[in-house]
């Protein structure tokens, strides 16, 4: 399998961009990350950038030497997230201006020749997949609104409008991150398109509209188009997206 990537991160209507994105392919490993920083002004931006740096370092310093098993790679990803969490807490203790900063995170990880991809997330940044013309959401938001849906208190349609949809209970920078991130195993197949994005996009673009763009638009500039759709639809947040298309290696 091979990967074609389209990525974009825009400031939107905010005073600065607290999102951060990164795609890396090295030593037979592929990693894509989208982080949505919290904490206001510089601290949110620091949280997202530093967390991506920590996770990237953890995975690419250790990943090439592991056996590539699903359990081993899941632990590798979880350890990367936990290291990033500890780093943010340490930075906050050392610098009062960075106290209480945090970030959501969603990631996609795969090895060369692997038939599966590992999707990880904390918070309300999401991963979707378009497979055989049908869009599906892989991740589950760690928001209070989504927890109410899981408990059967509200419907999925009500989640999008609920006042607690942006109040998250799991994120990097948390003093209590028991369990770490969710990690989902998803089978790769030719023609799939994965979208990882911040809630600046998913909160403003309906699933059927995301599906339409992933289904019909060429990869060149696709992430930028999705970000502009979110902006046109009224998103007031930073907006970030990475689209990954699965193709045959030539």
Mean of the pLDDT values across residues 99-114?
95
Residue 40's pLDDT is what?
Answer: 63
Please state, in angstroms and as integers, the Cα–Cα distance from residue 141 to each residue in 19, 37, 104, 190, 240, following that order: 17, 16, 10, 27, 17
Domain of 197, CATH number, reads 3.60.40.10
Residue 214's pLDDT is what?
Answer: 98
- Contacts by 79-83, CB closer than 8 A, 24 or more apart: 80/54, 80/55, 81/55, 81/105, 81/120, 81/122, 81/172, 81/177, 81/180, 81/181, 82/177, 82/180, 83/54, 83/55, 83/58
The more confident residue out of 96 and 84 is 84
Q: For 7-11, 115-119, 154-158, 188-192, which range has the lowest pLDDT when averaged over its residues?
A: 154-158
Show the tokens assigned to 156. Answer: 């999925």
Please answer whether residues 51 and 125 qualify as being in contact, where contact means their C-beta atoms are separated by less than 8 angstroms. Answer: no
- Model confidence at 5: pLDDT above 70: yes
d(CA 139, CA 104): 13
- Give the number of residues written for the chain: 250
**Residues in contact with 177: Cβ distance below 8 Å, sequence separation at least 6, in sequence order:** 81, 82, 85, 122, 170
Residue 146's pLDDT is what?
Answer: 80
Q: How many CA atoms lie within 13 A of 64 on its CB side?
A: 8
**Residues in contact with 131: Cβ distance below 8 Å, sequence separation at least 6, in sequence order:** 189, 191, 192
- Count the Cβ atoms, other than its own, within 10 Å of residue 49: 17
Q: Is the C-alpha dihedral spanning 19, 150, 165, 173 positive or negative?
A: negative
Q: For 128-137, 170-179, 220-229, which range has the lowest pLDDT when averaged over its residues?
A: 170-179
Q: In the chain, how many domains are there?
A: 1
Residue 160's pLDDT is what?
Answer: 73
Residue 178's pLDDT is what?
Answer: 85
For 226-242, b/e burial (b = at least 16 CB within 10 A) is bbebbbeeebebbbbbb
- Model confidence at 61: pLDDT above 60: yes
Instruction: Please give the residue range of the domain that contains residue 88.
Output: 2-247
- Model confidence at 41: pLDDT above 60: no
- Model confidence at 200: pLDDT above 70: yes
Q: How many CA atoms lie within 13 A of 32 on its CB side?
A: 25
pLDDT band at 167 (very low <50, low <70, confident <90, very high): confident
């Amino acid at each position: 399998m091979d990967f074609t990537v389209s990525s974009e991160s825009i400031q939107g209507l905010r005073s600065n961009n607290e999102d951060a994105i990164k795609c890396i392919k090295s030593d037979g490993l592929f990693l894509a990350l989208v982080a949505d920083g919290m904490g206001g002004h510089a601290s949110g931006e620091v949280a997202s950038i530093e967390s991506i740096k920590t996770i990237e370092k953890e995975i690419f310093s250790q990943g090439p030497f592991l056996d590539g098993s699903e359990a081993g790679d899941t632990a590798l990803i979880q350890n990367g997230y936990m290291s990033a969490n500890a780093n943010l807490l340490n930075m906050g203790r050392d610098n009062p201006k960075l106290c209480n900063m945090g970030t959501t995170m969603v990631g996609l990880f795969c090895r060369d020749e692997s038939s599966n991809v590992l999707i990880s997330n904390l918070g309300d940044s999401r991963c979707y997949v378009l497979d055989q013309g049908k869009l599906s959401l892989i991740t589950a938001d760690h928001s209070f609104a989504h927890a109410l849906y899981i408990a059967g208190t509200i419907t999925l349609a009500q989640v999008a409008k609920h006042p607690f949809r942006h109040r998250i209970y799991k994120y990097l920078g948390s003093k209590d991150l028991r369990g770490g991130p969710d990690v989902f195993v998803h089978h790769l197949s030719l023609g799939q398109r994965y979208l990882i994005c911040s809630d600046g996009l998913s909160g403003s673009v309906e699933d059927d509209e995301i599906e339409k763009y992933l289904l019909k638009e060429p990869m060149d500039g696709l992430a930028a188009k999705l970000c502009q759709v979110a902006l046109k639809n009224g998103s007031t947040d930073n907006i970030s997206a990475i689209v990954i298309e699965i193709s045959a290696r030539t």
